Amino acid sequence: MAGQETPALAEAAVEGGADLVEIGFPFSDPLADGPVIRAAAERALAAGMRTDACLECLAETRRRVDVPLVPMTYASLLEAHGYDRFQEETRAAGATSLIVADLPIEAEPELRRVQLVAPTTPTERLKLAAQRTDGWLYLVSVTGTTGPRESLSPQAAELVRRARDVTDVPLLLGFGISTPEQAAEAAAHADGVVVGSRAVQVAEEGPKALHDYVRSLRSAIDAQ
């Protein structure tokens, strides 16, 4: 989540082995987010993290790391800021792409963004999302919000298989992945793994804790 400590946390995550960093631009009604990220967004908003402050945070993070940086937010922020302006300013600040969790595939076709698909996504829409996605396709492994779970969703492998049947773009699997074991299992199916809620929890303990956590994920994935 964007905040004063985010650049140092991102740097620690990259040193721990992260290939990409997603930065949340907080929104007051984050429909796709579970309690951990929702609470982080509320703290960020209470600390004054509005769009301009988030852009400054993104730019400072870019100065510290050279991996892809992907802001994640909701369409209302882009509506208020202006879609074209938001895209231009995030790119200028160092963003590689965007995730707009509640923006349908058909909406704002000129806005380059990572598309999300879920186990309930019909095959034709999955194919359309893959055609319009920016760089990689985000596979949501569960039908629900973000948050740690006891095990990898049983729907995950089938979703990856369905996606591979219709596209060659890289597939990153996320939602409900929190442990090194789950990350390794997910990576055995997909091209990459997205870990959000647990990383946000660990980040509250500081950069070293986040570095060590990401290193544990990286080691588990590399060892498979």
Give the separation between CA 77 and CA 60, rounded to whole angstroms: 21
Show the CA angle centred on residue 4, arms to residues 73 and 80, nearest 5°. 30
3-state SS, residue 119: coil
Catalytic residue among 11, 33, 89, 185: 33
Phi, psi angles (nearest 5°) of residue 51? -55, -45
Provide the residue type at 39 as one letter: A
State yes or no: is 33 an active-site residue: yes
Residues 191 and 203: their CA atoms lie apart, in Å, by 25
Token digits for 50? 């509005």
* Cα 131 from Cα 189, distance rounded (Å): 21
- Of the listed 22, 158, 191, 204, which one is catalytic? 22
Active site residue 205: no
Provide CB contacts within 8 A for 153, sequence distance 6+.
119, 141, 142, 175, 176
CA distance 43 to 47: 6
User: What is the C-alpha to C-alpha distance for residues 214 and 8, in angstroms, rounded to an integer?
Assistant: 14
Residues with catalytic function: 22, 33
